[in-house]
């Protein structure tokens, strides 16, 4: 039986993408990387694993709907059922949201609703909280506002630097995201 197909949207280093590829029991097959940033390190990771990459430049389109229409065509052609965002720095618009309702998931490096948006780790660090963490959530039209699927706390220590905190958060991300992906796919979106 062929496995459920998924696409990852990423614009950066791709360490979460790599964690998904390294998970032997993800319950789905990553068949496509979608990337909006030329030269992003994540692209090289995909190539090493022979995963097709679809690159696009949003500036070449008149509207968000115009490029999302094209993305949906590409996704449907690849029979993608799930979309996992991992460092995709763009707000998903209503066209893509409706095409993949309840099937778009994001990972964010804070305990939402605290510290949404960019630089969540720096925000938490500056706020001197003693705990921050990782959130996995469904996407809606807001910035990091969709229904929460899972959260894991990460302690912050007095001698932490942004770098040490980032490392600890990423270690949690790389375990939590593959685990939640597997559960979601196996349970068809119910946890």
**Which residues fall in the annotated binding site?**
14-16, 64, 89-92, 106
Scan for tokens 């229409």, then name that residue.
Answer: 69
Which residue numbers belong to the known binding site for (6R)-10-formyltetrahydrofolate?
64, 89-92, 106
Least gap, CB of 116 to ligand GRF (angstroms): 11
Q: Residue 94's CB: how many other CB atoms inside 10 A?
A: 12
Least gap, CB of 48 to ligand GRF (angstroms): 15
By CB neighbour count within 10 A (0-12 exposed, 13-18 middle, 19+ buried), where does 74 fall? Answer: middle
Fill in the DSSP letter of residue 138. E
- Residue 30 near ligand GRF by CB under 6 A: no
Scanning residues 88 to 127, which ones bind ligand GRF (CB under 6 A)? Answer: 107-109
* Among 6, 7, 9, 16, interactor with ligand GRF by CB under 6 A: 16
What does the buried/exposed string (b/e) look like for 22-32 if buried means 16 or more CB atoms within 10 Å of the residue's CB? ebeebbbebbb
- Decide whether 96 or 169 has the Cβ nearer to ligand GRF: 169
Residue number with the shortest CB distance to ligand GRF? Answer: 87
| Candidate list 49, 98, 108, 137, residue with the active-site label | 108
Question: Binders of ligand GRF: how many residues, by CB under 6 A?
Answer: 13
Sheet strand arrangement including 53-55: 53-55, 28-35, 4-9, 82-85, 104-108, 131-138, 148-155
Residue ranges in contact with ligand GRF by CB under 6 A: 10, 12-17, 86-87, 107-109, 173
């Amino acid at each position: 039986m062929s496995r459920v197909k998924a696409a990852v949207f990423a614009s950066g280093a791709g360490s979460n993408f790599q964690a998904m590829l390294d998970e032997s029991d993800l319950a789905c097959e990553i068949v496509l990387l979608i990337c909006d940033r030329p030269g992003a390190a994540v692209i090289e990771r995909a190539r090493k694993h022979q995963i097709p990459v679809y690159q696009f430049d949003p500036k070449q389109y008149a509207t968000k709907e115009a490029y999302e229409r094209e993305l949906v065509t590409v996704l449907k052609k690849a029979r993608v059922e799930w979309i996992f965002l991992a460092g995709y720095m763009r707000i998903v618009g209503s066209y893509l949201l409706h095409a993949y309702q309840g099937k778009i998931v994001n990972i964010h490096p804070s305990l939402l609703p605290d510290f949404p948006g960019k630089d969540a780790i720096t925000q938490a660090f500056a706020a001197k909280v003693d705990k921050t963490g990782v959130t996995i959530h469904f996407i809606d039209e807001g910035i990091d506002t969709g229904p929460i699927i899972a959260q894991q706390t990460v302690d912050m220590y007095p001698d932490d630097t942004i770098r040490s905190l980032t490392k600890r958060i990423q270690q949690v991300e790389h375990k939590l995201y593959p685990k939640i992906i597997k559960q979601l796919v196996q349970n068809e979106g119910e946890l």
